[in-house]
């Protein structure tokens, strides 16, 4: 495959079941970060388009059949979507590669994982039942039911475009919500494609609307009065803005934000497995991953040998054209992201961390690529130890005791995920209990399952996606209290006549 085979695809938005241009008629372009070739063009939505989409979603919720359909019927539609995703897997994976820059093998895995999310959510559509209280007294029965929260705005980032929208949308649809979806302007292709698959699968008009925008649609969408809930994945910085909007307008909000995820490597670990997990953890998706294992804490007695082994292993990671099936690390998705990586590497150097590998952009004829980079001798106060870089940059720190390791692990504002490599069950359990993070991996790293809740503590977010937990994220709880038989006492006189 050469860059000359890559032509632009002109796509449309999906509003109220129709493929549409933006009201303004304007479009924006996406250039492949690996090939410097325009690969897609999109309508550039503004507030007017947001209003059309949000109004369609509102009507589909208030009047439409979707929220009132049985779970079985919704489940059948969600399963059809899973099948259609598998049918179009090659096309979806290729779009992901060309817009995001990730390797084709990983894009294919992402598409398959996405199909699994839709298939799993179909099971939840039939399990969103509530609770019953039969022991509150002889004359009362209460039932607690889940109702769809309403119209959900979903705003997603560029690192796993298809997977991340599918951590939200099928779950919201399963319980009867409707949605307005806005993917990142850098990677809109697979989300628009998904929007069309939903129409094909039989999702009624207006239930899911996909807006594409170069930047003008996000704010009007979160502010729109027809939106009941905002579900956002992206940077902590934008997450704060969205939480503020949700706070002012008292909209429900769910946020998946950044991480500076620590991996603890103890001297008693299977060090070969740990080394492989560390290299995978930081270079997977070029480190453009909220779950990136970007902070590795190594027990001092093995630190030199372990660091040397990690450097050796990292040197062998194939970086390059993401369309090549043997590539493991592709392009850096945007110039802005490359600038961020370069800034942090500069800060690491200036702070006195020891650069063991990489530390610079790769010289390539096209695209933007960054050498796998490793810093050792990092101290917990350096910015490369505390802040999310979102690139292929590993910071290695050392510890002398498990207490110290846990303290360092907990010393950032984030709390998305963490891991420990050890053969000692007590160390594993202590770390799992005491590290404040939404997911803890023991002797493994970064796998996920539709069944398991995902989300973070602290500045990593609010709420949890996936699993049966998602039912509660996308529903309101309603309590219904029922009188059984006659009302037995009067508020005023203490007794009621027994006429009934």
Q: Which residues bind ligand ADP (CB under 6 A)?
A: 155-158, 182, 184-185, 218-219, 222, 234-235, 238, 241-242
Nearer to ligand ADP, 165 or 275 (CB): 165
Residue 14: which H helix or E strand, with range? strand 13-15
Please state, in angstroms and rounded to a whole number, the distance separating the CA atoms of residues 298 and 296.
Answer: 6
Q: Among the options 99, 254, 290, 459, which is catalytic? A: 290
CB atoms within 10 A of CB 257: 27
Task: Please tell me the distance from the alpha carbon of residue 269 to that of residue 250, in angstroms, as a whole number.
Answer: 48
- Rounded least distance, CB 219 to ligand ADP, Å: 5
Query: 3-state secondary structure string, 110-154?
Result: HHHHHHHHHHHHHHHCCCCCCEEECCCCCCEEEEEEEEECCEEEE
Q: What whole-number distance in Å separates Cα of residue 234 and Cα of residue 460?
A: 10
Place of tokens 């007590």: 426
Q: How far is the CB of 184 from ligand ADP (least distance, A)?
A: 4
Q: Please, are residues 35 and 94 in contact by the beta-carbon 8 Å criterion?
A: no
CB of 432 to ligand ADP, least distance (A): 28
**CB nearer to ligand ADP: pick between 166 and 222:** 222
Contact, 163 vs 290, CB < 8 A? no
Q: Counting every residue, how long is the chain?
A: 500
Work out how close the CB of 437 gets to ligand ADP at its nearest, in angstroms, rounded to a whole number.
Answer: 20
404 classed as catalytic: no
Give the nearer residue to ligand ADP in terms of CB position, either 173 or 242.
242
Identity of the residue, 341 or 471, whose beta carbon is nearer to ligand ADP in the bound complex: 341
Chain residue whose CB lies nearest ligand ADP? 218
**In sequence order, what are the residues at sequence separation of 6 or more whose Cβ sits closer than 8 angstroms to the Cβ of residue 366?**
3, 34, 35, 36
Least separation in angstroms between residue 295's CB and ligand ADP is: 19
Query: How many other CB atoms are there within 10 angstroms of residue 413's CB atom?
Result: 13
The active-site residue out of 99, 110, 185, 256 is: 256
Which among 143, 144, 148 has a CA at the least distance from the CA of 124?
148
Least distance to ligand ADP, CB of residue 161, Å: 9
To the query of whether residue 289 is one of the catalytic residues in this protein, the response is no
User: Nearer Cβ to ligand ADP, position 188 or 327?
Assistant: 188
| Token pair for 36 | 């410097």
Q: Residue 491: count other Cβ atoms within 10 Å of its Cβ.
A: 7
Q: Which is nearer to ligand ADP, 173 or 257 (CB)?
A: 257
**Hey, what's the torsion of the CAs at 55, 156, 11, 338, to 10 degrees?**
150
399 phi, psi to nearest 5 deg: -140, 160
Question: In angstroms, what is the minimal distance from the CB of 393 to ligand ADP?
Answer: 16
Q: For residues 113 and 241, which CB has a smaller minimum distance to ligand ADP in the complex?
A: 241
The per-residue DSSP string of 298-346 comes to EEHHHHHHHHHHHHHHHHT--BS-TTSTT-SB---S-HHHHHHHHHHHH
Q: Which residues are catalytic?
A: 256, 290
């Amino acid at each position: 495959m050469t860059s000359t085979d890559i032509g632009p695809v002109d796509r449309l938005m999906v509003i109220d079941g129709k493929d549409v241009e933006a009201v303004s008629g304007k479009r924006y372009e996406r250039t492949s970060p690996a090939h410097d070739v325009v690969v897609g063009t999109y309508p550039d939505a503004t507030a007017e388009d947001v209003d059309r989409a949000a109004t369609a979603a509102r009507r589909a919720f208030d009047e439409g059949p979707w929220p009132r359909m049985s779970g079985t019927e919704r489940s059948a539609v969600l399963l059809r979507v899973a099948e259609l995703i598998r049918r179009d897997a090659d096309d979806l994976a290729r779009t992901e590669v060309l817009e995001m820059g990730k390797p084709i093998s990983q894009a294919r895995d992402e598409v398959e994982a996405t199909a699994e999310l839709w298939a799993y959510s179909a099971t939840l559509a039939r399990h969103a039942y509530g609770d019953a209280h039969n022991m509150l007294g002889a004359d009362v029965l209460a039932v607690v039911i889940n109702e769809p929260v309403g119209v959900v705005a979903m705003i997603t980032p560029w690192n796993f475009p298809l997977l991340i929208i599918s951590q939200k949308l099928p779950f919201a649809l399963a319980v009867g919500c409707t949605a307005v979806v806005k993917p990142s302007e850098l990677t809109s292709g697979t989300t628009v494609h998904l929007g069309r698959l939903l129409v094909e699968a039989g999702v009624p008009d207006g239930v899911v609307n996909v807006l594409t925008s170069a930047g003008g649609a996000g704010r009007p969408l979160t502010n729109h009065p027809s939106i009941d809930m905002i579900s956002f994945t992206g940077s902590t910085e934008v997450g704060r803005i969205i939480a503020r909007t949700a706070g002012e307008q008292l909209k429900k909000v769910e946020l998946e934000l950044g991480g500076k995820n620590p991996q603890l490597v103890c001297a008693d670990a299977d060090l070969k497995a740990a080394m492989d997990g560390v290299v995978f953890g930081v270079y997977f998706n070029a480190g453009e991953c909220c779950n990136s294992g970007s902070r590795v804490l190594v027990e001092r007695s093995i630190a030199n040998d372990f660091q040397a082994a990690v450097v050796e292993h990292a040197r062998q990671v194939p970086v390059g054209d993401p369309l090549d099936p043997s590539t493991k690390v592709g392009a850096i998705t945007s110039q802005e992201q490359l600038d961020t990586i370069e800034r942090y590497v500069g800060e690491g150097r200036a702070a006195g961390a020891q650069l063991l590998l990489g530390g610079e952009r790769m010289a390539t004829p096209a695209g933007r690529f960054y050498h796998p980079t490793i810093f050792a001798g990092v101290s917990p106060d350096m910015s490369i130890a505390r802040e999310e870089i979102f690139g292929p940059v590993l910071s290695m720190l050392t510890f002398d005791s498990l207490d110290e390791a846990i303290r360092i692990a907990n010393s950032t504002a984030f709390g998305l995920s963490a891991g420990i490599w050890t053969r000692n069950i007590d160390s594993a359990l202590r770390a799992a209990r005491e590290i404040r993070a939404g997911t803890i991996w023991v002797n493994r790293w970064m796998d996920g399952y539709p069944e398991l809740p995902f989300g973070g503590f602290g500045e990593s977010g609010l709420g949890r996606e996936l699993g049966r937990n998602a039912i509660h994220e996308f529903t309101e709880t309603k309590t219904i209290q029922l009188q059984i038989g006659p009302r037995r006492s009067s508020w005023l006189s203490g007794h009621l006549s027994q006429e009934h």
